[in-house]
Amino acid sequence: MAWTNVGYDGTITEIQWAGLAGLLGNGYVAAGDNDCITTAVAAARQVSVAAGSLYGDGVLSTNSAAETLSLTTPVNGQWYLVALQRDWAANTSVLVAIASATTTTATPTTTPTSFPVLNTNAGVLTDQPIAWAWCNSANTSVAVYDIRLRAVKSLPPKVANAYERDAKFISPDQGLQVWRNDLGVTETYYELYNSSTNPGGLNPSGWYPSGAGNVLQTIFGTSTNQVSNSSTNFVDTTLSATITPQRKSSRILILISQQAYVGGANANNGWGGRILRGSTAIHTFASEAFRSGTTLEMTGVIPATYLDSPNSVSPVTYKTQFKNTVASNQVTSQQYNASSMILMEVSA
């Protein structure tokens, strides 16, 4: 399989230079996360190196299709270093399997601690490590360990605020990043989520803080409706809030302040509460928050916190329900004060 190369002798186009320039300053790297991943070939003492691009010593080498590399049958066990060898005299790049440490036929639990002798004369002949591969003489199975480094391209461009960002990037591509000086965060642009054509998008499309732990949106709900219940069956408190997650991977932090009242007309009233996502109970936050006597009334606010993973970009409704834990008399929600719920979408 022939690799195409940019950076050897000769001229390059503007497009080729644009692809190469962003990688300058890196060492031996893969141009993308999935470029040139090495995997074992089933029922064969071979490895397959996926299509993609590798950069090193000023040369960007690209293979448009996966390439299979055979490993020599060892006496017992043998490590091989899978590498891309660049030859400046021939202006070529080829995959090689360089023999390294020998072992028994037992599968090793760790990779070698040093490389075999490599070609390191940039501009003449070099070997770019991609993966460790181990095989043995007893069978054709191969153990593969990825050792590629990912490229670090130029830092995101800086913008003062959202107005400058939108003025400079009128039609941004998905994955474009900028640094917001006013917020002190990196933002990434995502196109509209579609389960089949763009599963990596978000709903709605737009700029979002990069990385995990960012609060993407906050929803507030409240209820002042007084609701009583004298049975041990759960009923709605009327406290609810609805959120439409922007990412399927997001988690929803639920913060609840639930007002509860237990009367004293009869002994042994108890207030129990739970949280539901739609019609599904996901968390019991009060198995029995208050317990009254014949003359003792109890009222107060019950705090509740729960972190949910709805795995959806459709509207999700959360609500609370309550019951009398002993059904002696009625218990009440929102007897004297309002209850509230805060939903926070947190990037994962």
Mean pLDDT across the stretch 248-273? 84
270-285 average pLDDT score: 94
Closest CA to 270 of 342, 313, 308, 323: 323
Q: How many domains, the chain?
A: 3
Query: What's the average model confidence in pLDDT over 45-70?
Result: 94
Residues 221 and 202 grouped into a single domain: no
User: For residue 152, is it within any domain?
Assistant: no
17, amino acid identity: W
Q: 48 and 24 share a domain?
A: yes
Whether residue 143 contacts residue 40, with contact meaning beta carbons closer than 8 Å, is answered with: yes
Residues above pLDDT 90, as percent of the chain: 53
Considering the domain boundaries, does residue 151 fall inside one?
no
**How far is Cα 333 from Cα 154, in angstroms, rounded to an integer?**
56
Is position 12 within any domain? yes
45/92 same-domain check: yes
Q: What is the pLDDT of residue 292?
A: 66
Q: Which domain holds residue 178?
A: 158-210
Please say whether the dihedral angle defined by the alpha carbons of residues 131, 137, 141 and 143, taken in this order, is positive or negative: negative
Regarding whether 130 and 101 lie in a shared domain, the answer is yes
Question: Which residues touch 333 (CB under 8 Å, ≥6 apart)?
Answer: 226, 227, 228, 229, 237, 238, 239, 258, 259, 260, 261, 320, 322, 339
Please indicate, yes or no, whether residues 10 and 123 belong to a single structural domain of this protein.
Answer: yes
What is the average pLDDT across 293-315? 86
Same domain? For 45 and 113 the reply is yes
Do 225 and 333 reside in the same domain of the chain? yes
User: Does residue 153 lie within any of the structural domains?
Assistant: no
Least reliable range by pLDDT among 64-68, 194-198, 320-324: 194-198
**DSSP secondary structure code for residue 202 in this structure:** B
In a shared domain, residues 39 and 91: yes
Instruction: Give yes or no for residue 174 having a pLDDT over 90.
Output: no
Statement to judge: residues 19 and 140 lie in one domain:
yes
Determine the pLDDT at residue 266. 59
DSSP state of 237: E
For position 294, what pLDDT does the model report? 60
Q: For position 109, what pLDDT does the model report? A: 85
Whether residues 192 and 278 share a domain: the answer is no
Judge whether residue 267 has pLDDT over 70.
no
Residue 152 has pLDDT above 70, yes or no: no
Domain check: are 176 and 223 in the same one?
no
Q: Is the predicted pLDDT of residue 211 greater than 80, yes or no?
A: no
